[in-house]
Structure 1
Amino acid sequence: MPPERWLQAFPDGQWSTWSTLQGTVRAADTVWLPVTHPDWLDCVRRLQHTQGAAPVVVLSPVPNDAEGLRALDAGARGYVHLFAVPAVLREVEHVVRHGGLWVGPELVQRLLSATRQVLDQTPAAPRTVADLSVLSEREAQVARAVAAGKSNREVADQLCISERTVKAHLGSVFDKLGVRDRLQLALRLSGGDAATAPDGTPAPTEARP
Structure 2
Amino acid sequence: MYRIILVSESESFVKTLGIKLSEIGYSWLSFDEMKSDEHIQGSFIVILDIQSFQMTFHELGEFLKEYPYPVLVLSVIPTFEEGYPLLRMGVKGYANRHIGSVNLQSALSVLESGGSWFDPGFMNDLIRHIDYRGVPSESGEELFEILSEREREIARYIAQGLSNHQIADVLEITERTVKAHLLSCYKKLGLNDRVSLALWVKEAGYV
When normalised by structure 2's length, the TM-score is 0.63
- Mapping of residues 131-150 of structure 1, within 5 Å: 131-147=143-159, 149-150=160-161
Cα RMSD of the aligned pairs, angstroms, is 4.1
Match of 1:83 in 2: 98
* Greater per-residue strand proportion: 2
In the TM superposition, what are the counterparts of 1:1-209 in structure 2 within 5 Å? 2-3=15-16, 4-9=19-24, 11-17=26-32, 20=35, 28-35=43-50, 36-39=52-55, 41-50=57-66, 53-112=68-127, 116-117=131-132, 120=133, 128-129=140-141, 131-147=143-159, 149-151=160-162, 161-162=171-172, 164=173, 168-169=177-178, 171-178=180-187, 179-189=191-201
The answer to whether the Cα contact below 8 Å between 2:80 and 2:126 also exists between their aligned partners in 1 is no
- 8 Å contact kept, 1:60–1:80: yes
- What is the CA deviation profile of residues 102-156 of structure 1, one whole-angstrom value per residue up to 9, with x for unaligned ones? 2123432444455554xx4xxxx99544634444434433333433x25258867
Q: Mark the runs of 5 or more structure 2 residues left unpaired by the alignment.
A: 1-13
In the comparison of the two structures, how many residue pairs are matched?
Answer: 183
Matches of 1:14 and 1:69, distance apart in 2:
28
Question: 1:46-87: per-residue Cα shift (whole Å, max 9, x none)?
Answer: 22222x711221111232222222332343211112222333
CA shift, 1:2, in A, is 2.9
Gaps in structure 1 of 5+ consecutive residues:
193-209
Instruction: Give the Cα separation in 2 of the matches to 1:190 and 1:62.
Output: 24
Structure 1 residue 23 displacement after superposition: 6.1
**Aligned-partner residue type, residue 162 of structure 2:** S
* Preserved contact between residue 78 and residue 119 of structure 2 (Cα < 8 Å): no
Residues 168 and 63 of structure 1, relative CA distance in 2, 3 Å threshold: same
Report the Cα offset of residue 41 of structure 1: 3.8
